[in-house]
Structure 1
Amino acid sequence: MDYRLAIENAPDTVPGGTGILLVHPSTGETDRIDTDFLSTDTDHMLVISTRTTAREVRQKLEHYEVDEERATILDALSVERGYTRRQSENVKYVSAPDDLEGIVDETRVFLESTEGKRRVSLDSVTEMIYYSDAERAGEAVDAILELLDEHDAVGLFHLAKGVHDEAELEDFRSRFDGVVDLSADGSVTADF
């Protein structure tokens, strides 16, 4: 199954199972790329957020007119911060950004319980590394990439380039089928 991509300078389509790394400046405006990725050619989407709460994710989807009916949000922040949370069909929670097993499990549940074209956005790998470490975050990313492949889905994983050394950046780049690089001036390059 092929998926259309609405990412500047990237291929028009990618096959199911494709994992894409979005490398961006730590202050980079990734919302447009993320929401274009999610809303193009999609039946169901899982938005994994280790950086913002479900409420903030919902506001982003609303602002960019992404069909929220198709979205499941996995919030990894609210429990740890003590915010009120109401689990629903479309909003799931894990205990903290370092609950990597929980994040992988919820991704598996989402992919096993939905059909059609599925997209997963993970914002952000940087936070997973910050809360745990690069090795554990890398293992979780690999597990999610395997799930995408197994279920013919595609994923976009955010990584802030300013906070990782070159070796760490290269290690994560090498795990993905495609890398989209967002520069500080907003220009986009892609390598697939």
Structure 2
Amino acid sequence: MVNAMVHPENFTAPQDKQKWLLNRITDGVKKVTLDLSTFVGGANESKYFASIDDENTVAYLYSGIPLARINNTNNFGPYDPTAKDGRQNKVAGFLESQVKVEFTRKGLKEQYVDSGLRYMAVIDKGELPVAINGAKVDGLILSYDVSAGSDVELLSTVTASGSYTLPAASASALGGVKKIATPSEDTVSALKSALKSAGIFG
């Protein structure tokens, strides 16, 4: 007779479904620390985990989950536009491969685990575990809809950090991009006047 108080544990990892990942674009992956507590509970829990139920003590996070930085710890959790901890700001990349998560009677066996974040790839965004429509995306991420055969779409929308100031104009160089008003008429005099207004002529 089976002891009703003994529950099975899922020792076999499910097959890692990576239909979302079409091309890795070199080694564009970095090591990050996941805060597993941000994956547990909430409306998307069943989308994050390949296998989770009340009887198993082991579950697996799907690869391809869009990850975002948590401001006060610099750890990472799932991108969530409704979050208040920084994860609503942008998608930093995608979970490179599935992650084993262990539970005890008190909750997570380990809250923090290291994993890979892919920030350079060609993906099929329709195959991601959760949608990222309208999200800002970091890194170099392209998307191609395999089923539709559509054009390749650049998802990356976040510009590189830092700034660059264009050099000032000099006697021998313009020094940068100048916006010039349309001359009032098609004459050399009107063109000179427009250039002077833009600071190109002294």
- TM-score (norm: length of structure 1): 0.28
Structure ranking higher in helix proportion: 1
- TM-score (norm: length of structure 2): 0.27
